């Protein structure tokens, strides 16, 4: 039985004391590959994911400027983003998008930097990892103008948002929230969305699934998320593992890689 964690932040300081052990536990649990999101702390350093992917065979990386850091995205940072997309272990641009919950960067700046990164990623032939929080209308509007392959990372919407994303060709990435008692909309989406368009992720160290909730999340815990999706769909854990692995390979690795992820 194999799984792929399509979105984790193993560069986080929360893993500094035991990163090797965390990766080994994931491999032992059947998580054969992990995607390290390269947003880090934002510009000028955009290589947080690449450093780890270069050090571990089982890791892939993304490169992107998170909406929280959009105000730091000068021309030099965008040129560096474009250059790093050519790295052999970078399979996607992300996570990029809009966050109107925290508004750490002005909304007009977020939109501009999001649009610029989408254009650069499309020109490079890379799909994108997309973060959206309390910004569905603007996120979907921008994506409709710049059709790109991708996935909504840590999907938290309902079937209405899911259908809009699916119509744009996106995948939906389901995280540990699906195991939470108050996540009815996410569970409905996990149960009803086409299986061939679902990925799974941890978003580690955040959002650990039940029964690990409250702990530091790590890639090995993705099995609990897959188990919940299997239960909701009336399928086996192995079926979910195989399907989401195929989906990952189709989105990120086909024709040289590239992907879009939404949060």
Residue 254: pLDDT band with limits 50, 70, 90 = confident
List pLDDT tens digits, range 44-75.
999 999 999 999 999 999 999 999 999 999 99
90 — phi, psi (to 5°)? -90, 115
Query: Over 70: is that where the pLDDT of 223 sits?
Result: yes
Using the structure block, give the residue that is written with the tokens 């160290």.
205
Write out the DSSP string of 139-185: HHHHHHHS---EEETT----HHHHHHHHHTTEEEEE-GGGGSTT-HH
Tokens encoding 124 = 């490079």
CA angle 242, 197, 248 (to 5 degrees): 50
pLDDT for residue 259: 45
- When the pLDDT of each residue in the chain is averaged and rounded to a whole number, the result is 95
Q: What is the C-alpha separation between 24 and 220, in angstroms, rounded?
A: 9
Query: Over 70: is that where the pLDDT of 10 sits?
Result: yes
pTM: 0.95
List pLDDT tens digits, range 157-204.
999 999 999 999 999 999 999 999 999 999 999 999 999 999 999 999
Give the chain's length.
263
Cβ neighbors of 37 (< 8 A, separation 6 or more) are 7, 8, 9, 49, 62, 64, 94, 95, 129
Domains in the chain: ranges and CATH: 3-256 (3.20.20.140)
Query: Over 70: is that where the pLDDT of 255 sits?
Result: no
More confident residue, 259 or 58: 58
Nearest to 126 by CA among 97, 98, 89: 89
Residue 16: pLDDT band with limits 50, 70, 90 = very high
Tokens encoding 139 = 């996120």
Whether 96 and 161 have beta carbons less than 8 Å apart is answered as no
C-alpha to C-alpha distances, 7 to 4, 33, 84, 112, nearest whole angstrom:
9, 10, 18, 24
pLDDT for residue 1: 85
Query: Over 80: is that where the pLDDT of 249 sits?
Result: yes
Using the structure block, give the residue that is written with the tokens 């560096």.
80
More confident residue, 262 or 89: 89
Percentage of residues in the chain having pLDDT higher than 90: 95
pLDDT for residue 258: 43
List pLDDT tens digits, range 92-109.
999 999 999 999 999 999
Bridge partners, residue 174, by sequence? 200
Nearest to 244 by CA among 9, 212, 228: 228
pLDDT for residue 256: 47
C-alpha to C-alpha distances, 70 to 98, 128, 131, 173, nearest whole angstrom:
9, 16, 13, 23
């Amino acid at each position: 039985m194999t799984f792929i964690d399509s979105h984790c932040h193993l560069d986080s300081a929360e893993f500094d004391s035991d990163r090797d052990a965390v990766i080994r536990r994931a491999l032992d649990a059947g998580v054969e590959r992990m995607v390290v999101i390269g947003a880090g702390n934002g510009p000028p350093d955009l290589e947080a994911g690449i450093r780890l992917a270069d050090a571990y065979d089982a890791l892939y990386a993304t490169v992107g400027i998170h909406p929280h850091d959009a105000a730091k995205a000068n021309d030099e940072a965008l040129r560096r983003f474009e250059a790093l997309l050519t790295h052999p272990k970078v399979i996607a641009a992300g996570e990029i998008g809009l966050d109107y919950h925290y508004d750490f960067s002005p909304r007009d700046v977020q939109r501009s930097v999001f649009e610029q990164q989408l254009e650069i990623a499309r020109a490079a032939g890379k799909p994108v990892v997309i973060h959206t929080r309390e910004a569905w209308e603007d996120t979907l509007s921008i994506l409709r103008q710049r059709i790109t392959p991708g996935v909504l990372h840590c999907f938290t919407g309902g079937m209405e948002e899911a259908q809009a994303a699916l119509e744009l060709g996106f995948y939906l990435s389901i995280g540990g929230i699906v195991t939470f008692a108050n996540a009815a909309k996410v569970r409905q989406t996990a149960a009803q969305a086409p299986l061939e368009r679902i990925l799974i992720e941890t978003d580690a160290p955040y959002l650990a699934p039940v029964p690990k909730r409250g702990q530091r999340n790590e890639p090995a815990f993705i099995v609990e998320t897959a188990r919940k999706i299997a239960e909701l769909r009336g399928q086996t854990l192995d079926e979910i593992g195989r399907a989401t692995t195929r989906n990952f390979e189709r989105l990120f690795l086909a024709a040289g890689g590239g992907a879009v992820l939404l949060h």
